[in-house]
Amino acid sequence: MQWRNGAIFLFTWIFSGFTSVAQVKQNTFEKLLTAPKSYVIFHTTDAITVDGKPLEKSWQKARWSDKFVDIEGADKPRPTYSTRFKMLWDQQSLFVYAELEEPHIWAYYDTNDMIVFHENDFEIFLDPTRDTHNYYEFEINAQNVILDLVMNKAYRSDGTFNLHWNAEGFRSAVHLEGTLNDPSDMDTKWCVEMQIPFSSLSTNDEYVQPQDGSLWKINFSRVQWQTEVKNGKYVKKKDPETGKNLHENNWVWSPQGVINMHYPERWGLVRFSEKPAGSIVDFELPDDEVLRKYLWETYYHQQQFRRAHKRFATSLNELKMAESGEDAGLTFQLNMKADSTKFLLTLTADNGLVITIDQEGFAQQATK
């Protein structure tokens, strides 16, 4: 969940292929602009029993994800324990199965909607519209305690979370290969299975029903605390100098580039396919996803500019940002309308693609 703010890392980097009418900004945000991980979710005709065990034929054929990496990226130390997932879908639901290698399985929170990430947990974040607003989060611990919430927008834009929201019809199960809360033995892993009805991803009875080829933004996170045993119980290790808990590890599927899961634009990209599990489908980033990075680069610079000057820049020239470019075989123009308190940046490509982003990070696609 990560309500705390993470650091943002600055790098000197220029997009290849980006041509400038104005001066190209060279102090850019490399880790926040890398391509996301991708995954094809295949269709299942099996009746999935949510029991924490992938026994159905479709689960056996479904492709494993890449193993999780540090939230900041692959250049950080590799996670101590392996984490991976599979996904399937039918016309009603998204199904998730995950395996978390773990020699010491523990979870003491026992009531739904407790702040689960204060213990070891597994999390999924979903943005069905890819606009970074009105997105959903599920957290689960090793004794199947769930926290579900919806965010109207990211915390950086003064977003708020709704803990009273519940995903109607959501089902989950946990399977342990080991024993819960028993420090006297060594465990192997804990496994999570979820069924998320598409109709549950709503606050107003309207929801996104995926079709063959639909694209969603999704990411997964594993929060892992350093522990020791005291009086027969797992407790978090503390910094001997400050007396505070040591920082948790954050391991994710698609690297965020920043210690904050609430950068929805940084989540992975999934494509729904009507083909059965076991099929082979190539995944290519769509043109709009390739070009969005130019909007996000400007957005990050606008936020940085506002922190320094207490206002937004009113032109791309003031930001020393490019006004045109070429990528994915397309040429495009950038136009920004702005005043000191708000802005709207529009990218128009020569194939008719139009994408916009505003000061709250609301990103959407239209056509000319």
Separation of alpha carbons 329 and 38, rounded Å: 21
Buried/exposed 59-80: b ≥16 CB within 10 Å, e otherwise: bebbeebeebbbbbbeeeeebe
DSSP 238: B
The mean pLDDT of the chain is 92
DSSP bridge pairs for 217: 127, 269
Write out pLDDT tens, residues 136-155.
999 999 999 999 999 999 99
Q: Express each pLDDT in 170-198 by its tens digit.
A: 999 999 999 999 999 999 999 999 999 99
In this predicted structure, what is the pLDDT of residue 4? 35
- How far apart, in whole angstroms, are the C-alpha atoms of residue 316 and residue 324? 11
How does strand 38-43 pair with strand 83-89?
parallel
Query: What letters, b where the CB count within 10 A reaches 16 and e where it falls short, cover 194-214?
Result: bbbbbbbbbeeeeebebeeee
Residue predicted with more confidence, 14 or 188? 188
Euclidean distance between CA atoms 10 and 30, whole angstroms: 7
Strand 215-224 relative to strand 189-197, pairing:
unpaired
Residue bearing tokens 């019809």: 169
Mean of pLDDT values over 96-101: 98
Are 31 and 72 in contact by the 8 Å Cβ rule? The answer is yes
Q: Has residue 114 got a pLDDT over 90?
A: yes
Does residue 168 register a pLDDT over 70?
Answer: yes
Number of continuous H segments (helices) and E segments (strands) in the chain: 3, 22
Asked if 282 contacts 18 with a C-beta cutoff of 8 angstroms, the reply is no
State the pLDDT at residue 74.
86
Q: What is the pLDDT of residues 234-268, one digit of tens each?
A: 999 999 999 999 999 999 999 999 999 999 999 99
Tokens of 325: 């470019």
C-alpha separations of 184 from 100, 159, 180, 181, 232 in Å: 20, 43, 11, 9, 8
Phi/psi for 338 (5° steps) reads: -155, 150
Helix (H) or strand (E) holding 287: helix 287-309
User: Who contacts 68 (Cβ-Cβ below 8 Å, separation ≥6)?
Assistant: 79, 82, 83, 84, 220, 222, 251, 252, 253
C-alpha 251/C-alpha 135 separation (Å) is 20
270: nearest Cα among 334, 228, 216, 319: 216
Say which residues have a Cβ less than 8 Å from residue 92's Cβ, sequence separation at least 6: 197, 198, 199
Reported pTM: 0.91
